[in-house]
Amino acid sequence: MSDTTRILRLGHLYPSQMNIYGDRGNIVCLQRRCRLRGIELEVTGLKVGDVLRPDDFDLLFIGGAQDREQTLVCSDLAATKGALREAIDDGVVFLGVCGGYQLSGRFYRGADGVEMRGAGVFDLYTLHPGPHARRLIGNLAADWEGGSLAGFENHGGRTYLGSGCEPLARVLRGHGNDGDSGFEGAQYKNAFGSYLHGPILPKNPAFADRLLSLAMERRYGSGALSPLDDSLEQLAHASALKAR
């Protein structure tokens, strides 16, 4: 089967605000893994004010940010990206990392007690226990679908899942969503949220391919992807898994 003419459309939400912690590595990773398979990945940045329509993209990505930028994009999410939830209910693949994960929930209550409304992609909410609370920082390893996820987490907010979504992974070492439940990240349909940066996709190639496979299946009816030489990816994954 030749993939040569296939195209996937990726919408990158707020690339100039939500780009802390090497998040662009996730885009670079998806682009390369598509290109090597003859799939063209068209990446479109969505700025504040750009209207999102539910059928515009096959994949959507939102990264993390500093508090100031997070506040800037938060009101825009409700104003011009209201179709996000509709797209996800329709099976569009979504990945939210760190701050982008928090803003994809129902709400985020900051250290100052001020509540920001989220995009409502996931049935979850995030509470920051206050300016003097310990941040959850460090390398994290988690059990994921018979394999593993590895990366670095750094968040003040504690995320609590409702019954409308599942945890993405189980923490083996590190803090995860709230430092207590043993859950890391969330999943609803083809939407995924995670605290892992590092960035998450290059050193977790199986997870990167899961996103691409779901998008291909939805768009073209088959999620089969040709294998790649992932020897360096596996070496990096192993190194991140054992990092203290």
Partner 1 sequence: MATPRTLASIWAAKTAAAASRALRRGGGTAASGLVGLWLNPGLIHDLAAQLGEGCVVVTGTNGKTTTSLLISETARAAGLLPLANSSGSNLTRGIASALAMAVDADGGLDDAGRGLGVFEVDEATLTQALPELNPRVAVFTNLFRDQLDRYGEVDTVVARWRDVIANAPPELRLVLNADDPNVASLGKDRDGVTYFGVEDRNLDAGAPEHASDALFCRCGGRLEYAVAFYGHVGHWSCPSCGRIRPKPNIAARLIKLGDGHSARFQLESHGEKSTLQLGIGGLYNVYNALAAAAAAEALGLPRTALESSLTSTGAAFGRQEAFEVDGRRVEVYLGKNPAGLNQVLSTLLLDEARRTALIVLNDDIADGRDISWIWDADFEIAAGRLEHVIVSGTRAAEMALRLKYAEWYESTLEVVPDISAALASALGATPDGECLAVIPTYTAMLTVRELLAARAGKEPFWR
Please report, as ranges, the residues that interact with partner 1 according to CB under 8 A. 16-17, 19-25, 28-29, 32, 66-69, 72, 137-139, 151-152, 154, 197-199, 202-203, 232-233, 235-236, 238-240, 243
- Pick from 139, 132, 138, 141: nearest CA to 111: 132
Nearer to partner 1, 32 or 109 (CB): 32
R_g of the chain computed on alpha carbons: 17
Dihedral, CA of residue 127, residue 153, residue 20 and residue 56, to nearest 10: -70
Nearer to partner 1, 139 or 187 (CB): 139
CB of 72 to partner 1, least distance (A): 7
Nearer to partner 1, 128 or 197 (CB): 197
Residues carrying an active site annotation = 98, 197
CB of 221 to partner 1, least distance (A): 29
CB of 162 to partner 1, least distance (A): 29
Nearer to partner 1, 28 or 206 (CB): 28
Nearer to partner 1, 169 or 196 (CB): 196
Cα separation, 27 vs 155, in Å, equals 22
CB of 16 to partner 1, least distance (A): 6
Q: How far apart are the first and last CA of the chain?
A: 43
CB of 134 to partner 1, least distance (A): 13
CB distance 21 to 197 below 8 Å? yes
